[in-house]
Amino acid sequence: MSDSDAWAKACAEDLEAEKARRRAQRATEPGSPAEEFRRLFEAVADKVSGGLGAPLLGGQAAQTVQQLVNQAKAVVEPVIERNPQVFDHLAAAGSELLAAYRSAVEGHESRWTRGGGTVPEDDDPRRDADPDTPRKKDDEGPGTGQHIDLD
Contacts of 5 (CB under 8 A, 6+ apart): none
pLDDT of residue 144: 60
pLDDT at position 133 is 58
Task: Quote the pLDDT of residue 36.
Answer: 81
- How close are the terminal C-alpha atoms of the chain, in Å? 85
Give the C-alpha distances (Å, rounded to integers) separating 61 from 25, 75, 121, 132. Answer: 37, 21, 63, 73
Q: Which of 148, 149, 123 is CA-nearest to residue 138?
A: 123
Q: Which ranges of the chain have pLDDT less than 70?
A: 1, 27-30, 50-59, 115-151
Q: Is 27 left (phi over 0), alpha (psi -120 to 50) or beta?
A: left
Q: What is the pLDDT of residue 93?
A: 92
**Dihedral sign for Cα atoms in the order 12, 13, 15, 16:** positive
Over residues 89-131, the pLDDT tens digits come to 888 899 999 999 999 999 888 888 886 555 555 555 555 555 5
